[in-house]
């Protein structure tokens, strides 16, 4: 007689009320159990070696029936070895120890240049830092320009007599320098004191009569003074006046007289006018006054004239 797989004959409890989603879980468990049983029955040849085909079929049916019974029991919360319903979420566990330091990541690409920030306010003056060590000697700089002559320093103490150095070799003859510029004429010295009167010398002998000299040039002749008086307009502050010599005479001097005491001579000079026929020589003067308001003022120009060779 073949082996019989009987379902549990104990009274079955009423199916408990399942939480939403638990039916899907139980069906998944039943499906997995069915697949495992099929594999065991289909691929375990030694277990079926002493059974005939009818017995094998009876075992297979009995196994499937028992499997279905167990699935039903698990779905209804009855029997041992069945997965329970999903419980409430447990409390968060204590934090685990800090893991080891991970490797340093690669350096990211340099970002774009940000805008220049606003210049901050000048900070307070910091304390004077300590004097740093003396740096190494720098290279010799270029020859600077000759400085101004400094004031004479105080007389130093007498130094110790040094040893006589060896005579150096004769240097080459230098080129003759360029002649310097002519210096300014020095100021005239003060007149020396008058020396004593010398003794009267002996009378010399009579010299021979000299040769008659040539006729000299004719000097000034027909000397005369010419004058011209000029009067300004009302309120005018500058006035020019000219005194002219006669024909064929030359001006040898001149001037101007100022009637108004607040006037000032601006210029006074000889004037030659070669384009006139005959040419005329004269003396011109310009006078200016300060104040005066709406009045007039007068000046007189003078020319000293003479005939010359």
Apex CA 233: angle with CA 232 and CA 235, to 5°?
Answer: 105
pLDDT band at 301 (very low <50, low <70, confident <90, very high): very high
What is the tens place of the pLDDT at every residue in 104-130? 888 988 989 889 988 888 879 889 988
Contact indicator for 254, 303 with CB cutoff of 8 Å: yes
pLDDT at position 254 is: 95
pLDDT band at 243 (very low <50, low <70, confident <90, very high): very high
Residue 137 domain flag? no
Residue 16 domain flag? yes
Residue 267 scores a pLDDT above 90:
yes
> Which of 157-166, 269-278, 300-309 has the least mean pLDDT?
269-278
What is the tens place of the pLDDT at every residue in 165-188? 788 888 888 888 888 888 888 888
Instruction: Give the residue from 2, 117, 5 showing the smallest Cα distance to 51.
Output: 2
Higher pLDDT, 20 or 214: 214
Which residue among 81, 107, 138 closes a domain?
A: 81
Residue 166 domain flag? no
Apex CA 55: angle with CA 52 and CA 56, to 5°?
Answer: 85
Which residue among 55, 81, 107 closes a domain?
A: 81
pLDDT band at 283 (very low <50, low <70, confident <90, very high): very high
Torsion-angle region of residue 58: left (phi > 0), alpha (psi -120 to 50) or beta? alpha
Joined together, the tokens standing for residue 286 give: 């310009």
What is the tens place of the pLDDT at every residue in 139-153? 887 887 887 887 887
Contact indicator for 83, 18 with CB cutoff of 8 Å: no
Residue 200 domain flag? no
Strand-pairing partners, residue 221, are: 307
Residue 20 scores a pLDDT above 80:
no
Residue 199 domain flag? no
Which residue among 46, 81, 116 closes a domain?
A: 81
> Which of 37-51, 64-78, 285-299 has the least mean pLDDT?
37-51
Contact indicator for 294, 305 with CB cutoff of 8 Å: no
**Structural domain that includes position 259:** 221-307
Average predicted confidence (pLDDT) for the chain: 76
pLDDT at position 57 is: 46
Residue 208 scores a pLDDT above 80:
yes
Residue 49 domain flag? yes
Joined together, the tokens standing for residue 64 give: 């499937």
Residue 7 scores a pLDDT above 50:
no
Residue 284 domain flag? yes
pLDDT at position 266 is: 92
Residue 195 domain flag? no
The secondary structure element, H or E, covering residue 251 is: strand 250-258
What percent of the chain has pLDDT above 70? Answer: 71
Domains of the chain: total: 2
Joined together, the tokens standing for residue 196 give: 């004593």
CA dist 282 and 279 (Å) reads: 10
3-state secondary structure at position 271: strand
């Amino acid at each position: 007689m073949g082996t019989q797989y009987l379902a549990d004959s104990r009274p079955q409890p009423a199916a408990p009320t399942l939480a939403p989603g638990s039916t899907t879980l139980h069906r998944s468990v039943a499906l997995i159990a069915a697949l495992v049983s099929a594999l065991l029955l289909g691929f375990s040849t030694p277990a079926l070696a002493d059974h005939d085909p009818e017995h094998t079929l009876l075992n297979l049916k009995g196994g499937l029936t028992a499997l279905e019974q167990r699935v039903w029991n698990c779905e209804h919360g009855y029997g041992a070895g069945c997965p329970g319903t999903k419980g409430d979420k447990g409390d968060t566990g204590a934090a685990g120890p800090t893991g080891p330091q991970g490797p340093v990541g690669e350096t990211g690409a340099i970002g774009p240049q940000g805008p220049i920030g606003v210049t901050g306010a000048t900070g307070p003056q910091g304390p004077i830092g300590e004097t740093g060590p003396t740096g190494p000697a720098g290279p010799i700089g270029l020859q600077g320009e000759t400085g101004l002559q400094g004031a004479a320093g105080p007389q130093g103490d007498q130094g110790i007599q040094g040893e006589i150095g060896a005579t150096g070799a004769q240097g080459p003859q230098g080129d003759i320098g360029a002649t310097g510029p002519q210096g300014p004429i020095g100021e005239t010295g003060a007149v020396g004191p008058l020396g004593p009167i010398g003794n009267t010398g002996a009378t010399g002998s009579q010299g021979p009569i000299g040769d008659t000299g040539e006729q000299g040039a004719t000097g000034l002749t027909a000397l005369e003074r010419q004058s011209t008086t000029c009067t300004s307009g009302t309120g005018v502050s500058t006035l020019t006046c000219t005194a002219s010599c006669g024909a064929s005479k030359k001006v040898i001097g001149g001037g101007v007289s100022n009637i108004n005491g607040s006037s000032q001579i601006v210029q006074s000079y000889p004037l030659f006018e070669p384009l006139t026929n005959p040419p005329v020589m004269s003396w011109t003067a310009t006078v200016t006054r300060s104040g005066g308001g709406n009045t007039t003022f007068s000046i007189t120009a003078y020319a000293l004239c003479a005939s010359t060779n």
